[in-house]
Structure 1
């Protein structure tokens, strides 16, 4: 079983940049969700979550992205984190066949940095981590 990172797209509106990715994962939603919605899960592939209150309105601090709050939360479907200075990161999970899932990422941010390569590297770590998950 392998996963794949589909072509990302990028849009710019003034100083706001929006990245979109579709990642096909070899595990079901129930297995992928903890990687997106728990401190340990995020640390395993993206960045340490120094604070993560898993509920709408909960506090979140993502190392390297900033502190803010959980702005969307639908268990096993949507986790969205909005952080000062780091913008908004939205994970949308969908079923992908009998044993897989599809992750749609939206990262909205301001500034000149180009995080696309960072996301691609993170997705490769996520795919690898999920391959080791029973």
Structure 2
């Protein structure tokens, strides 16, 4: 089974932008979780986490994105970071059989600066780092 970035949508409401993606990953949730919940994992495909206190209410600083706190934390399932001026990044994993999972991703931000194409590229990089060894 190979991974894929299946859906990407973008919505704008006034000055607030919402990006949603559905990404199929060919690995179990437990193997994928560190990519969203550890500094090393985030740096491998997205951006360095200069601060990451892995717990609800913990501090987080994502380079180039902003500082804030962890507003949802369910180990192996959900990590949500509220950063910058009202920005939010949510990673929600669901099982897809015994050997795969689905990421439901949401990015909310105000102003300009991020695009659906940039996130699609990041998820392609994630798929490259998460590909199982032959």
Rounded to whole Å, the distance in 2 between the matches of 1:55 and 1:48 is 18
Q: Could you say which residue in structure 1 is the equivalent of 2:65?
A: 65
Say if 1:64 and 1:86 are closer, same or farther in 2 by CA, change over 3 A: farther
TM-superposed CA distance for 1:86, in Å, is: 6.8
Report the number of matched residues: 134
Q: Does the 8 Å contact 1:49/1:61 carry over to 2?
A: yes
Say if 1:114 and 1:62 are closer, same or farther in 2 by CA, change over 3 A: closer
Residues 3-12 or 112-121, more deviating: 112-121
Q: Does the 8 Å contact 1:22/1:103 carry over to 2?
A: yes
Structure 1: gaps spanning 5 or more residues:
none
* 1:54 partner SS: coil
Say if 1:20 and 1:70 are closer, same or farther in 2 by CA, change over 3 A: same
Q: Could you say which residue in structure 2 is the equivalent of 1:9?
A: 9
* 2:90 partner SS: strand
Q: Could you say which residue in structure 2 is the equivalent of 1:98?
A: 98
Q: Could you say which residue in structure 1 is the equivalent of 2:119?
A: 119
* 1:44 partner SS: helix
Q: Does the 8 Å contact 2:27/2:132 carry over to 1?
A: no
Rounded to whole Å, the distance in 1 between the matches of 2:101 and 2:42 is 17
TM-superposed CA distance for 1:37, in Å, is: 0.4
Alignment of 1:28-67 (within 5 A): 28-67=28-67
TM-superposed CA distance for 1:85, in Å, is: 3.4
Q: Does the 8 Å contact 1:66/1:83 carry over to 2?
A: yes
Structure 2: gaps spanning 5 or more residues:
none
Q: Does the 8 Å contact 2:26/2:132 carry over to 1?
A: no
Rounded to whole Å, the distance in 1 between the matches of 2:11 and 2:24 is 22
Write out the 4+ residue segments of structure 1 that deviate beyond 2 Å after TM superposition.
112-115
Deviations 1:27-50, CA, capped at 9 Å, x for gaps: 000000010100000000000000
When the two chains are superposed, the root-mean-square deviation of aligned CA atoms in Å is: 1.5
